[in-house]
Amino acid sequence: MGFLFKHRKQEEATRILFATDIHGSEGTWRKFLNAAAMLDVDVAICGGDLTGKMIVPIVERKNGKYTYYHLKKTNIIEANQLEKAIKEIKGIGYYPYVTNEDEYEEMARNPKKVDEIFRRVMLETLEEWFKLIPQKLPEGVKVIVCPGNDDRFDVDEVIEKSRYVINGEGRVIEINEHHEMISCGWVNPTPWKTTREEEDEKLEERLEKYISQLKNPESAIFNFHAPPYQSKIDEAPLLDENLNPIIQQGRVVMVPVGSKAVRKMIEKYKPFLSLHGHIHESPGCIRIGRTYCVNPGSEYAEGILRAFFIEFKGNKITRLQRIEG
């Protein structure tokens, strides 16, 4: 299934903004949309891991005050401080949830209750994010999202139902008359056993199936959440058995953790551009043969947007700029 975007005149450059690993940070999502509008892009691409990882219950007490535990500190606030607290929690990728003492006690006793609330708040938040798009972006700018390894499968349904975004997973999307994009949010195995991960052999089969839909891979964009193995944009801390970083001579030991399958696909099909994320600590741009490969990195917990602004004419990249703010 293909999607053809209305676009500038053929002789003009195509502009895209690529960010990834927002992990529920509303502040970062808003900056992503604002940057797309400011840079006058044709397509804004969010490459994976849209959703957050936990909720922060804000408990209304019988004395009219509210308490919540956040950033290793118990906070006590008045009702008129509630809106500010909610905004701060959303800004760094957590989901605030205003509740009462009875429900909070039930949550403490019942992990299934917590998961039920987390799921509901996560999906409602994503719906609200998508509703910001027509408020922030001019008509005609298209937004493509692709769930990443940390995103539950429930997320796909919310994306599919939205009028404002296109789910890129496994679909050929026509960026302009000469360039298609194929996306994959699955990654090679991680220590955290996340939702969308599989052995490189299986991932290779998946990628081959996706790529087979392209008319011309060499003029295509690969939007694969996992970065290619041993590419310098895939280096993460080496962990011990307790998942703590290993430090030697006062420095964290870094090792390549990217996907061999992704690297193989890039070397085999030679797309002109390849977009990646997943490894927050390794932002950068490298080349594998003729292919430009980028990873913006992520600082979602600080509410910082990291992204690449990319402009191209034909298969020539005329501007490739990493932005941060």
Give backbone dihedrals phi and psi of 254, rounded to 5 degrees, phi first: -105, 140
CA distance 134 to 124: 17
pLDDT score at 71: 87
CA distance 273 to 293: 6
pLDDT score at 11: 53
Contact yes or no for 227/258 (Cβ under 8 A):
yes
What burial letters (b/e) apply to 250-266, b meaning 16+ CB within 10 Å?
Answer: eeeebebbbbbbbbbbb
Contact yes or no for 254/280 (Cβ under 8 A):
no
The residue whose two tokens read 């769930």 is: 147
Which stretches of the chain drop beneath a pLDDT of 50?
A: 1-10
Residue 181's identity, in one-letter code, is: M
CA distance 161 to 184: 19
Specify the pairing of strand 172-174 against strand 180-184: antiparallel
Indicate the pTM of the whole model: 0.93
For residue 298, the tally of other CB atoms under 10 A from its CB is 26
pLDDT digits (tens, 9 = 90+) for 273-311: 999 999 999 999 999 999 999 999 999 999 999 999 999
CA distance 260 to 230: 8
pLDDT score at 3: 45
CA distance 305 to 298: 7
Nearest to 95 by CA among 134, 128, 61: 128
Q: What domains does the chain contain, in order, with CATH numbers?
A: 14-53+126-324 (3.60.21.10), 55-109 (no CATH)
Residue 3's identity, in one-letter code, is: F
The CB-based long-range contact list for 83-86 (8 Å cut-off, 24+ gap) reads 85/58, 86/58
Contact yes or no for 75/117 (Cβ under 8 A):
no
pLDDT score at 24: 96
What burial letters (b/e) apply to 47-71, b meaning 16+ CB within 10 Å?
Answer: bbbbbbeebbbbbbeeeeebebebe
Residue 307's identity, in one-letter code, is: A
Q: CA geometry: angle at 46 spanning 13 and 312, to 5°?
A: 15
CA distance 114 to 97: 11
